[in-house]
Amino acid sequence: MIRINCPYCGERDHSEFSYGGDATINYPSLDASEKEWTEAIFFRKNIKGFQFETWHHSNGCRMWLVVERSTVTHEIKSVKPCHPNLQKVVENNK
Ligand SMILES: [Zn+2]
């Protein structure tokens, strides 16, 4: 079982969240080539170890989060809001 410590709601079961995918993808501009878009959308690294992922707290505060999670052990190193300005809000409210 994966427990995710949402910065807004506290620790919750992963069933409250929806997996959003790789958080490190830099999507190309709208006028980029079809090849660039194909690579950004369909070609993924299969990382063994820690990776950054987006998760949506769909059954909670509905915020998008960046979770650093091990694909081997499911250990979670960090959880942050996706938007950097929201991270500042979290830090100011501690
Ligand atoms: Zn939440």
Residue 69: other Cβ atoms inside 10 A: 22
pLDDT attached to residue 89: 76
- What CATH number is attached to the domain comprising 81? 3.30.2270.10
**94 CA from centroid of ligand 1 (Å):** 15
Find the mean pLDDT for residues 21-26: 91
Quick check: 29 pLDDT over 80? yes
Q: HSE of 16 in the Cβ direction (CA atoms, 13 Å)? A: 18
**4 CA from centroid of ligand 1 (Å):** 9
Domain containing residue 51: 3-92
pLDDT attached to residue 34: 97
**74 CA from centroid of ligand 1 (Å):** 19
Round to whole Å and give the CA distance between 54 and 68.
9
**59 CA from centroid of ligand 1 (Å):** 8
**72 CA from centroid of ligand 1 (Å):** 24
Q: Is 72 left (phi over 0), alpha (psi -120 to 50) or beta?
A: alpha
pLDDT attached to residue 32: 96
Number of domain units in the chain: 1
Query: What pTM does this model have?
Result: 0.84
